[in-house]
Amino acid sequence: MQDLNHLAIIWVCVFLSSYFARLTKLTSVVYFLAFGCLMVNTGVLPEETTPFIEGFAKVGIIVIMFALGFEENSSKFVDGIKRAWGIALFGAIGPFAVAYFLSLQFWGDVKLALMCGLAMTATAVSLTMVSLRSEGLHRTDAARGIMTSAVLDDIASLALVALLVPLATGHSEISFDQVLLIGAKTLLFFGIVTLLGMWVFPCNSSIKVERLVPLWKKLSARFPVLGRHKYGIPVLERYGVRNLLMLGESGHSTLVILILAILISLVAHSFGFHPAVGAYMAGLILKQEHFHENQQLQAQDYDHCKMIIDDVAFSWLGPVFFVNLGTKIVLDLDIVTSVIPEMLALTIGVFTIQVISAMLAARYTGSFAWHESIMIGFGMLGRAELAFVVLDIGYVQNDIFTTAAFYTLMFTAFWLNIAVPLTIKYWRPYFIGEKQLAIRLGSRQIVLSNPEKK
């Protein structure tokens, strides 16, 4: 019954967070994190999360990311990747460099500094996307730029974890084979997702089937058992996910798409990615056109499934992840007081370089407008999953982090997470054009806000 008691407390926190969010007009994510921190430091929730709550939280973030992907347009997401490479590259190099050199200055240990840089590299995209959604901005080009660059960021960060952790722990040296293996796994995973989107989940309006014909003819010539229908498209396209969704007439459509989300999340995890990345990809390749071929039923079935998924993701299951994330902040006043200078320096340093590097990259490599570039800079501030993985590796599993370094990184990640919904809330009026902001450089005026009021 202890697990149920903890779950009841967390759901009360979720309810109160939603109430205070409406009262203060802030996003509820801030209160999810704050209540989690409050509960663990007052002894209401334990410092060590039980496996039940931990599993509940993991399912929550998977459903959240699936729901966000389910709302996204896959073709726009692919186009967004072409614009996001610079944001991912420079938006990761900047925080890594700041964290590395500041940590080296504070503690004088190269291995520790490497791990600190690694902890501050990857963006907590789930936090950002939920914050954007609460402000009604999750379908904008800026949100798409944040998501795509964060996916690329996640891939690069996973590669760095695989390469730098053995080096920092002294267990092995970096080898060419390791680099090659990581690259191969990355290509294979996204290749599998692409094939699923093309052959198992396609719809006539989403792809040009003519592009598949030459490739499929070559494959079917070599493997006749695969077979073709009269248009030369694989039989899986004809008997794919839409046939499973026909079970929606008996109320199983939501179950089918959740099964697909979990399966692709497991595939992502087996390749070394966070399951949330797989869940988002699953949402991307599922479209409204996959629901009944009967046009009269299609819209209502899609809306029904989407309503259920959104309710699960954003009302009672998904928020558990953020409350649980807040419980990672365990306060020890003596240690907290001793690391205030380091925490302030690292927080301000990473905040500043992250916003500037991502903003300039979005503007000059992704050709985003200034108001979108600034929003992207703010959206890249969050630090969550990978940061805590690195903290666990460096502090719990190995003796790389000192206690001071551990608390400094933990509180830096916390304040950066708090900054995400607050900065997004602050910039929203400028982003949508309700307020105007411009700066003058010599004789030139640069309009930073959206010049067109929505």
Instruction: State the Cα angle at 137 between 327 and 75, rounded to 5°.
Output: 105
pTM of the model: 0.68
Helix (H) or strand (E) holding 446: strand 444-447
pLDDT tens per residue across span 383-429 = 866 677 677 677 766 778 888 898 898 889 888 988 998 999 999 99
Nearest-angstrom CA–CA distance, 345 and 109: 18
* 292 close to 250: Cβ distance less than 8 angstroms: no
What's the N-to-C CA distance of the chain in angstroms? 51
Closest CA to 4 of 52, 55, 43: 52
The CATH architecture assigned to 2-201+240-447 reads Up-down Bundle (1.20)
pLDDT tens per residue across span 57-84 = 889 888 887 887 787 666 666 667 778 8
Residue 230 confidence class, pLDDT cut points 50, 70, 90: very low
Per DSSP, helices labelled H in 108-140 are 110-119, 125-134
| Mean pLDDT (whole number) for 79-101 | 86
Candidate ranges 71-85, 105-119, 177-191, 302-316; pick with highest mean pLDDT: 105-119
With b for 16 or more beta-carbon neighbours within 10 A and e for fewer, the 28-54 pattern comes to bbbbbbbbbbbbbbeeebeeebeeebe
Helices and strands counted in the chain (H then E): 20, 2
| Mean pLDDT (whole number) for 324-350 | 88
Nearest-angstrom CA–CA distance, 355 and 445: 21
Closest CA to 316 of 69, 63, 49, 127: 63
| Residue 445, strand partner residues | 440
Which sign, positive or negative, has the C-alpha torsion 82, 60, 282, 139?
Answer: negative
Residue 408, Cα to own-chain centre: how many angstroms?
A: 23
Residue 67, C-beta contacts closer than 8 angstroms, at least 6 positions apart: 283, 309, 310, 312, 313, 314, 318
Residue type, 407: Y
Residue type, 299: A
